[in-house]
Structure 1
Amino acid sequence: MIIFGTKGYLYQLAIITLLCGNCGNPSAHALRKRVVKFTLFFVPLFPVSVKYLTQCTFCGDQQRVTAEQSDHLQAQAAQDPNPQFTPLGQ
């Protein structure tokens, strides 16, 4: 008998101050990476899908971002100790 399946992992990459597109409030957004891996006998082997998300801490709305946008947001969070409120997606 072969036991296989998938398992999801959620990594928090950064906390960024953005203007929420849903509620319009300037608030912190969690930048997260969701990875689903194929498992064989409960051992994760390789990623099946990778998604990047931002989640507003005020209203809880999630927006999907691309890998390039995620890299840009991480660089912005790392270099700017005093963040400005920027709209998400710009």
Structure 2
Amino acid sequence: MIIFGTRGYVFQLAVLTLVCGNCGNSTAHTLRKHVTKFTLFFIPLFPVSTKFRTQCTLCGVEHQIGKERADAMLARPAAPAS
């Protein structure tokens, strides 16, 4: 009997200050990477899909973004603390 399937993993990459497209407030957004991996005997072998999403911490709405945009967001310099 062979046991196989998929399993999802979520990695938080950054917390960014952005203007939310839903509520219009400039708040913290989490940038997360969602990876689905193929598993065999409960051992993750290789990724099947990878998605990047941002989530507003105020209203909770989530937006899916592309890899290029996620990389650009991560490459931005952090705003200086005041």
Letter in 2 for 1:71: D
Percent of aligned pairs with the same residue?
A: 58
What stretches of structure 2 of length at least 5 have no aligned partner? none
Distance in 2 separating the partners of 1:13 and 1:65 = 13
Equivalent positions of 1:1-80 (< 5 A) are 1-76=1-76, 79-80=77-78
Matches of 1:56 and 1:82, distance apart in 2:
21
* Long gaps (5+) in structure 1: 84-90
TM-score, normalization by structure 2: 0.95
How much has 1:81 moved relative to structure 2? 3.0
* Separation of aligned partners in 1, 2:80 and 2:3: 50
TM-score (norm 1): 0.87
Superposed CA RMSD = 1.1
1:53, 1:32 → 2: CA distance?
A: 5
Deviation at 1:34, TM superposition (A): 0.1
Distance 1:68 1:42 in 2: 31
